[in-house]
Amino acid sequence: MSKHVFYHAGCPVCVSAEHDIVKLIGEQDVEIVHLGDEKEKVAEAENAGVRSVPALVLSNGNVLHINFGASIDDLKN
């Protein structure tokens, strides 16, 4: 099974959700991507269906938008 990917942007809402998600799923099963630090992955996230962060893209392709930190559009600049 491929990993789940958790996209965030370092915002307080994101960090809190990250801790919760890692605890729920287990660190070994989730890849964490900070879109503020890794701008080149914004397009990858958007193609996966991410419209806001924090978001969890599951290995089955489903996207869970969790709470609301920032719009993906705000991460493009």
Binding mask 25-64 for a copy of itself (x = CB under 8 A): x--------------------------------x-x-xxx
Please say whether the beta carbons of 42 and 35 come within 8 A: yes
One-letter amino acid identity for 77? N
Tokens of 8: 């965030």
Q: Does 22 bind a copy of itself (CB under 8 A)?
A: no
Cβ 12 to a copy of itself, closest distance in Å?
Answer: 13
The pair phi, psi for residue 38, each rounded to 5°, is -120, 70
Q: Is 31 helix (H, G, I), strand (E, B) or coil?
A: strand
* Residue numbers at the binding site for a copy of itself (CB under 8 A): 4, 16-17, 20-21, 24-25, 58, 60, 62-68
